[in-house]
Amino acid sequence: MKDRYSKLIGECSFTTARSSGSGGQNVNKVETRVTLLFDLPGSQMLTEHQKKQLGEKLKNRISKEGTLQLSSEAERSQSMNKKAVINKFTTLIERALQPVKKRKATKPSTASIKKRLEKKKQLSEKKRIRRGKIDM
C-alpha cells in the first residue's frame, strides 16, 4: 500500500461476497471476493481538476452515480484479495493522474524522404511497364 494514497483509501468502502473459483470446501461458506467502492464526486482528498481528470480517463469504470467499483477474487483469502484490490486501485489512480506528454512535431529525415521517393519511382516504373508503353 502506497503512503500517499492511504488517505484516499480511507475514503473507500469495502464489501465482501462469495467468490467463484478455487477455494476448496471454503468456496461455499467464506466470503473471499472483495469489492472496493470509491465515491469520486464525494472525495475530500481530490481537487476538482483531479476529479475531472479521473472522470474522463476512467469513464468506462465509473457508474452514472460517480462510483468507481473494483473487485478482486483471485486469491483464496479475503485479506489477500483486499490487498490486491487496494493495489489495483492505487495503480489505476496513479496512471490516470499522470499528465499526458505533449507530442513534439518532427520532420522526416533526409534518408527517409529519399527512400520514399525511390519507392514511388519504382512503383511508377512497374505500372508504366505493365501498361505496355515502354519509353526510353
In a domain, 20, yes or no: yes
- Position 118 pLDDT exceeds 90: yes
Question: What's residue 3's pLDDT?
Answer: 66
Q: How confident is the model at residue 100 (pLDDT cuts 50, 70, 90)?
A: confident
Of 18-22, 92-96, 116-120, the one with minimum mean pLDDT is 18-22
Q: What is the pLDDT of residues 17-68, one digit of tens each?
A: 887 766 667 667 788 889 999 999 988 888 999 999 999 998 899 999 989 9
In a domain, 123, yes or no: no
Measured CA to CA in angstroms, residue 120 lies from 47, 52, 116, 135 at distances of 54, 48, 6, 18
In a domain, 53, yes or no: yes
> How many structural domains does the chain have?
1
In a domain, 50, yes or no: yes
Question: What's residue 1's pLDDT?
Answer: 42
Q: Where are the alpha helices (DSSP H) in 58-109?
A: 78-97
Q: What is the pLDDT of residues 59-91, one digit of tens each?
A: 899 999 989 999 998 888 889 999 999 999 999
As a whole number of angstroms, the distance between CA 31 and CA 19 comes to: 7
Query: What is the CA 131 to chain-centroid distance, rounded?
Result: 52
Looking up cell 512497374, which residue turns up? 126
| DSSP label of 16 | E
As a whole number of angstroms, the distance between CA 54 and CA 4 comes to: 17
In a domain, 37, yes or no: yes
Question: What's residue 24's pLDDT?
Answer: 67
Read off φ and ψ for residue 67, nearest 5 degrees: -100, 125
Is 0.95 topped by the overall pTM? no
18 is in which domain, residue-wise? Answer: 3-97
- Position 124 pLDDT exceeds 90: yes
User: The domain that contains 30 carries what CATH number?
Assistant: 3.30.160.20
Question: What's residue 116's pLDDT?
Answer: 97
